[in-house]
Amino acid sequence: MSDIPRETADTQVHPELAAYYTSRGLRPAPSPDESGSESSGPTLDEENVRPSNFAEWFAISQTLLPALLLVPGSQAYRFPVRVGAYAISLVAFVLWWFDRGGHQQGRHPAERVLVVVLIVVGLEIAHPNTNSLLAGLAQAGLYFAIFCPLFWARGYVTTRRQLVRVLVVLLVCNGINAVVGVLQVYDPNRWMPTLSDFYTSGTAATNAMRGAVTYIGPNGEAIVRPPGLFDTPGAVCGAGTIAALLGLIFFLEPIAWWKRFVALAMSGAGIAAIYLSHVRVSFVITIGMMTAYAGMLALQNQKVRLTKFAGLSAAIVAASFVFAVALGGSNVTERFASLFAEDPRSLYYASRGQAVEYGFTSLLSEYPLGAGLARWGMMRYYFGNPASLDSTELFAEVQPNAWILDGGLFLLALYFVALGVTVVYDLKFIQTLRDSEDRLWAAAVIAANFGTLPLVFSFVPFGTATGLQFWFLEGCLHGAMANRPRRS
């Protein structure tokens, strides 16, 4: 393709955002060479290992804060630690708004929809069955904390180099998380934290719950589904999906051999942690993320990289399975063999499909305008009034049900629209980038984020740190590529 003038390239997509950043001095005006490459800087091998900006520290905090709950005696501080992971996002928004010109231009297409989402949730506070004013405000604040990184992240990630550094931080944090998860099965006496009273109080309910989070190992011992650096059994599977994908991507980068080995080991640990946690949906999503990345490589005509990635993916999935079976025994084989032995539709319906059906057939007709805020989840637990007879506890096992309870048909439709326009925007956006490196790193972010979308129908990702990471990565991608050359 023939080169196009810098001025033309910069104004083809996001011209206002590009001008906005340059005019406020948030970064120097980029000066790509004739190929459209980013101006010279340190290579991945030359990068300083110390976090260099707020976005990197934010990514670290999402692993570090939950990990604090594993420290003996830390359960007394569980509330501030759990809230802190989301409060940091709100603080970042305030800092960005006042320090970096909150009235930005070049908006992401999902922004306006998410603003309406916040309005709908805000209005729901006035619902007569909202548990309490404080709980309603907390629930609305949680929604905003989860999606506001789409607004502020691009104020801190404004170059491709900064985006790659954020991905490195995510690989290291999630990779360490996955390694710890594997070690918790290998040597539980040393690495497995003491389960909370929720699983050990001895009541019939907690005994049943404990049975659900354990399985029998190869020597007849009870294996707890590894939590990793979280305090919930099986929670390491989320970190495992990110580590599995990013580890393979960085292994293919031209970096020092030992760094490539570490990346590959973290990828293997991520997949092994998923096997050992027995969370089949995470395995399916990991394969889906790898497939999405491979598909984008194919569309970019990256034949060599596609061949290496596909072969390496197959090898690491198989090798990690053998390793996980050696640690976890035949129960690992039986658990994941059921994905192929049963009809996938029947399997899904028996696990989460019934909950989705219940939401669309029963909850939506019963609560078309929502059931009031803080009727379910942790905001009710921390801020609600459990004695309220007008606002009894409800349950939402999957995301559509949560949206229905929190805002009825309006919230359900609006959040689906926000996710839909984001998907369409990402798929179109990556094709406009002129530089091949830009397209490769954009593909890595998009593939990682696409893994979150199916979770909507298996749990409540946009009420947790998973949704927070989704909008954070989307904001980082939007900021990093805002000023990059575009195809004509």
Question: Mean pLDDT per segment of 10 residues, for the chain of length 488 residues?
Answer: 38 43 42 50 74 90 88 78 89 84 67 96 94 93 96 90 95 96 92 66 53 83 89 89 96 93 96 94 95 95 95 96 93 89 84 91 94 90 84 91 96 97 92 91 95 93 94 94 82
User: How far is Cα 286 from Cα 292, in angstroms, rounded to an integer?
Assistant: 10
Token representation of residue 417: 């629209």
pLDDT of residue 345: 84
- pLDDT tens for 290-326 read 999 999 999 999 999 999 999 999 999 999 999 999 9
Question: Is 101 strand, coil or helix?
Answer: coil
| DSSP 8-state assignment for residue 437 | H
Tokens of 299: 């569309």
For residue 101, the model assigns a pLDDT of: 56
Q: Do residues 447 and 289 touch, judged by C-beta distance below 8 A?
A: yes
Residue 234, both tokens: 């099986």
Q: Check: CB of residue 93 under 8 Å from CB of residue 148.
A: yes
**For the segment 81-123, what is each residue's pLDDT rounded down to a tens digit?**
888 889 999 999 998 888 755 545 467 899 999 999 999 999 9
- How far is Cα 75 from Cα 231, in angstroms, rounded to an integer? 10
Q: What was the pLDDT predicted at 266?
A: 97
How far, in Å, CA of 240 to CA of 410, rounded? 34
pLDDT at 107: 79
For the stretch 260-294, pLDDT in tens is: 999 999 999 999 999 999 999 999 999 999 999 99
State the pTM of this model: 0.88
Q: Are 462 and 415 in contact (CB under 8 A)?
A: yes
What pLDDT does residue 42 have? 73
User: What DSSP letter does each residue of 155-178 carry, written as one string?
Assistant: GT--SHHHHHHHHHHHHHHHHHHH
DSSP string for residues in 193-229: PPPPHHHHS--HHHHHHHHHTEEE-TTS-EEEPP-TT
Query: Residue 318, CB half-sphere, CA atoms under 13 Å: how many?
Result: 6
Angle at 32 between CA 28 and CA 33, to 5 degrees: 145
**Tokens 């030992």 found at:** 258
Is the distance from CB of 276 to CB of 327 less than 8 angstroms? yes
For residue 26, give the nearest of 142, 94, 126, 104 by alpha carbon: 104
**pLDDT, tens only, 414-424:** 999 999 999 99
Six-digit token string for 108: 């992401």
pLDDT at 251: 96
